Amino acid sequence: MLVLFVYNYRVYNVKFVEGDYKLPVFKTGKQYSIKLIDDFVKATKVELKHTENNGCFYRPSEDFINMEYKTNFRDTPESNATVHYYSTLFHELTHSTGHESRTNRIKTNLNKFGSHSKEYAFEELVAEIGSILLGHQFNIEKTVRDNHSKYLNSWIKALKQDYTLIATAFAQAQKAVEYFVSTK
């Protein structure tokens, strides 16, 4: 069971701290198991299709996820291609939990990518948070991708309209992750 808590911390830049303070060294390198992730994805029983250049999306009307092939994902200075693939897959898996046969959360047409409605922005925020939570379960570090900048304006607009949106999105993302973790 995944439990999410929100805490408030004071954070200081280390250059303003007096004394002999050393920054922690974080382990780098492959810390995730592709087999473990692939087994998890299969256990979700969400239909997964792979196509060459059709994009990555979840289609609620047909209840399937379309992903481009892993080889279509390229390494960038900010992102490992494998990490980018699985982060995107986790995003789409989170969308799939909104299907009426699962949590029945999706109330908007996800096929209209880039819609600026509050509902669309909310669902994309849930999917991104879910992707982060699932990535955390498998030790995948989330990276910023191009589509985040496309979503950001709609998130800001929606958050200005409803300040509780972020807390609600976190709660829904946690439900999405718990749905898959409990059905495994």
Structural domain boundaries enclosing 131: 34-183
Residue 109 resides in a domain: yes
Residue 9 resides in a domain: no
Q: Token digits for 99?
A: 């299907």
Residue 129 resides in a domain: yes
Residue 26 resides in a domain: no
Residue 10 resides in a domain: no
pLDDT for 24 equals 44
CA–CA distance, 53 with 62 (Å, rounded to integer): 19
Residue 117 resides in a domain: yes
Which of these, 60, 57, 94, 56, lies nearest to 172 by C-alpha position? 94
Residue 38 resides in a domain: yes
User: Is the model's pLDDT at 181 over the cut of 60?
Assistant: yes
Please state, as a whole number, how many other Cβ atoms lie within 10 Å of the Cβ of residue 103.
15
CA–CA distance, 70 with 65 (Å, rounded to integer): 14
**Contact assessment for residue 99 and residue 135, using Cβ atoms and an 8 Å cutoff:** no
Instruction: Give the mean model confidence (pLDDT) for residues 68-91.
Output: 85
**Contact assessment for residue 174 and residue 127, using Cβ atoms and an 8 Å cutoff:** no
Q: How confident is the model at residue 122 (pLDDT cuts 50, 70, 90)?
A: confident
Residue 12 resides in a domain: no
User: Is the model's pLDDT at 153 over the cut of 60?
Assistant: yes
Amino acid symbol at 162? D
Q: How many domains does the chain have?
A: 1
Say if pTM beats, i.e. exceeds, 0.85.
no
